[in-house]
Amino acid sequence: MSTENQKKTPGKITGITLLILFVCLIALGVSKATGFIESNQAQQGFGIVLGLILVLLGNFLPKLVLPLSQRGDDPHKAIRNERMAGMLFVLTGALIVSVWLFVTQEYRMMVSSVVGLSVISLVFAQWAHGVFGGLSESQIESKLERLNVEIPLSQRLAVFGILYTLFWVFAMFLADAVWGDSVAQGMVIPFIIISAVLLSFMTIKHQFKR
Amino acid sequence: MNYAFKALSDPTRRRVLELLKDRPMSAGEIADHFEVSKSTMSAHFAVLREANLVASEKDGKSVVYQLKLSVLEDALLGFASVFGWELKNTQHIKPEQSPEKGAKK
């Protein structure tokens, strides 16, 4: 099988909007650092932007369709799961925005991080099970090879990267809410190390494909 | 987004999308649900592809379609089907046909 409309890139608007949201995050950080806004306001703005990023990614996710040959034994179930994941992210993002707008300050961080972490973990687990569940190591290897050949790697990597980063941000939020700011700041180091390991693993894999 | 609105404004194309919600289908299987010519169906498929609402794959001689709706487009489809953009001419859509019957062909 070969996909006919691989060349289309549905992610342009999503990409531009994400870029604007990332600029907002940087602007919030700079405003806080320069004393233009209070720390609480910056935190609230940060939480709202994170929720919006999740809404945006969730909306875009079902557009990243895999060729049917990569759907496994039950394509219907796989497609349904992907659509469900998209909807779940949109609803979670909306919920997180609402939490940062309407819930009292002391619970915002805890509630939004628990919700965000739970949903992203659930979807990651479901993806891993859907793609690799019940396969041997060699079957996984050949499946990854075919995936890299048949659909653009960049968009999938971008979405995975942003979701992975959001996962860590929510984990840092939770650590901040439970143990305090110093522990949350300390989590930056494992984030960088694990990211570097993941990135090098993916790069090596990609080089082998060529 | 204009392409999406244009694609969703037609009842036949909406019905195609609803059919694809069940499972990916070949062009022939989808066409079995409608009483229109092949060229008309091809035009509908072209509009849906142009709007990026479906993805198509060649499987031997047939073309298999699967949904490519964002969550917003999915909501718009639901909205269009339930509230607005009502069918003005539904005579070309077969009243009721089970997917299994279509799949046999």
The pLDDT tens digits of the residues spanning A110-120 come to 899 999 999 98
* Percent of chain A scoring above 70 in pLDDT: 72
What distance in Å separates the CA atoms of residue A139 and residue A122, rounded to the nearest whole number?
24
Nearest CA among A146, A75, A132 for reference residue B55: A75
| CB-based contact A83 B74, cutoff 8 Å | yes
Prediction pTM value: 0.76
Report DSSP letters for B10-56, one per residue.
SHHHHHHHHHHHHS-EEHHHHHTTB-S-HHHHHHHHHHHHHTT-EEE
Evaluate if residue B92 carries a pLDDT over 60. Answer: no
Please tell me the least confidently modeled range out of A152-161, A185-194, B19-28, B72-81. A152-161
For position A90, what pLDDT does the model report? 94
Evaluate if residue A150 carries a pLDDT over 50. Answer: no
pLDDT level of residue A185 (50, 70, 90 thresholds) = confident
A155 contact residues in B (CB cutoff 8 A):
none
Which of A1, A58, A68 has the CB atom closest to B71's CB atom? A58
Residue of B nearest to A89 (CA): B71
Q: Are A187 and A172 in contact (CB under 8 A)?
A: yes
B22 contact residues in A (CB cutoff 8 A):
76
What average pLDDT score do residues A51-73 get?
77
| CB-based contact A8 B58, cutoff 8 Å | no
pLDDT, chain A, mean = 78
Residue A65's φ and ψ, nearest 5 degrees, are -80, 145
Which of A4, A10, A63 has the CB atom closest to B56's CB atom? A4
Nearest CA among A109, A101, A89, A84 for reference residue A180: A109
Q: Which amino acid belongs to residue B3? A: Y
For position A210, what pLDDT does the model report? 46
Q: Are B90 and B11 in contact (CB under 8 A)?
A: yes
Evaluate if residue B101 carries a pLDDT over 70. Answer: no
Structure tokens that stand for B35 in this block: 């009483």
Q: Are B67 and A61 in contact (CB under 8 A)?
A: no
For position B87, what pLDDT does the model report? 46
pLDDT level of residue B97 (50, 70, 90 thresholds) = very low
